Chains A and B, each alone.
Chain A
Amino acid sequence: MDGYGLAWLAAGIGCGITVLGVGNGIGRLAAAALEAGARQPEAAGDVRTTMIIGAALIEGVALFALVVCIFLALKG
């Protein structure tokens, strides 16, 4: 396995780990928001807005990791 192969392998594995982390994060966020909305339906609107902002920020971190993966993959 040469350097290019290692880079592609790293990109693939890194991509998978990123998705694991961000899936876990956004999943927990959505679960908490749903619980909050079920408990206090009148606050559901505010909770949804805050949830979307939080999800977007988590997604932002995931995108940084994916950019690193893309750079690794483009090395080949």
Chain B
Amino acid sequence: MSSSGTDTLHTQSPHAEEIPPSQVIPHLLEELGDHHELNIAFTTADVLPIILYDDGGWHFYQNVHAMEEAGAYRLVKGHVVRTSDGRAPALDLSVTNLVVFQWIGMLLVIGLFFLAGRRYRRAPLAPPRGIQNALEAVVVYIRDEVVRPNLRSERLVRAFMPYFVGLFCFILVLNLLGLLPGMHTATGSIGTTAALAITAFLVINGLAIREVGIKGWLHHLLGGAPVYLAPIMVPIEILGLFTKPFALTVRLFANMSAGHIILLSLVGLIFYFRSIFVAPMSIGFSIFIYLLETLVCFLQAYIFTILTAVFVGLALGDHADDHHGHAVSAS
């Protein structure tokens, strides 16, 4: 559900009417996750297509209603299951609510950069104005503080600036979208953050293999230790390859959903005690947490980007920074 707890409690979910009191909190936590119905600005619309791969064939349905009419699959607690045995289909590639929010985020990022870029093309030497200033500050900061210190070679910086700027802006826009009332946080779902981290994993290792060669990449798995330590170092480094994207995934997901859960708990206190006198305390703390969440939105987008850049730098094997690099990569 949306970021602020107040909105969550006023959801017009189709099943919201008869929930036993003990199930209210689990139900609201479920609302924070992904849905097959589009839920935007407090209205639910059953317009998103269902795409399933099961029993060696593709199944397409116009929306949840059409799927339940057809009878082979139905929705239980927000998940598509087979009607026959209640198990999930092999592959659920449906366009869900959070997918739509990611599209909104992409459109916003592309639109803003298109606007700024058009002005640069029209008047390349004119001083930047308005949106140009804001985006230029972001791009220059990412280049000078995040990408350049880690990638070192100017050729790689030029080649990978679009990736890092895109990563930062996409995560930031998704995070901030979740703070608007009636909107959802796409980065508060582990699927989104896992996809971002898998992309980062491919960039880190793909770039390392391309730049230092497969031999250099394998040698890096030794972690700078002598060859006879390989039985210990290689498993640790291989584990490290996978813990890095896993930590990226969980960090962003946990940070974005933790704030929402705290807001939910604070506002929930009013309803739990059934007293209006709890409200000033709850609202005050909620505003504080909300502002803190705004900070966390920027911070987590920055941390995801800088950690990806640092991991790319480590995988490239920067020899000037050898000691520091291996101390970090082994942890």
Contact = CB atoms under 8 A, between A and B. Distances in A.
- Bound pair: A and B? yes
Interface stretch (A5-13, A28-36, A56-64): A56-64
A13 to B, nearest CB: 19
B303 A56 contact: yes
Interface stretch (B88-96, B166-174, B247-255): B247-255
* Chain A contact patch, size range: 10 to 19
Contacts of A59: 251
Contact of B254 (A57, A61, A66): A66
B307 A53 contact: yes
Contact of A53 (B145, B243, B250, B310): B310
B251 A56 contact: yes
Contacts of A43: none
Contacts of B117: none
A54 B254 CA distance: 18
Contacts of A57: 247, 328, 331
Contacts of B307: 53, 56
Given A52-B306, A53-B307, A56-B303, A63 B251 contact: yes
B201 to A, nearest CB: 15
Given A56-B307, A57-B328, A60-B243, A49 B251 contact: no
A60 B251 CA distance: 7
Contacts of A53: 306-307, 310, 328
How many chain B residues sit at the interface, stated as a range, is 10 to 19
A14 to B, nearest CB: 15
Residue with the greatest number of chain A CB neighbours at <10 A, chosen from B247, B303, B306: B247
Contacts of B328: 53, 57
A67 B310 contact: no
Interface string B232-273: 000000000001000100110010000000000000000000
A52 B149 contact: no
Interface string A3-24: 0000000000000000000000
A57 to B, nearest CB: 6
Contacts of B302: 52
A64 B145 contact: no
Contacts of B251: 56, 59-60, 63
Nearest to B149: A49
3 closest A-B pairs (Cβ-Cβ)? A60-B247, A63-B250, A56-B303
21 contacts: A49-B145, A52-B302, A52-B303, A53-B306, A53-B328, A56-B303, A56-B307, A57-B247, A59-B251, A60-B243, A60-B247, A60-B250, A60-B251, A61-B331, A63-B250, A63-B251, A63-B254, A64-B243, A64-B247, A66-B254, A67-B250
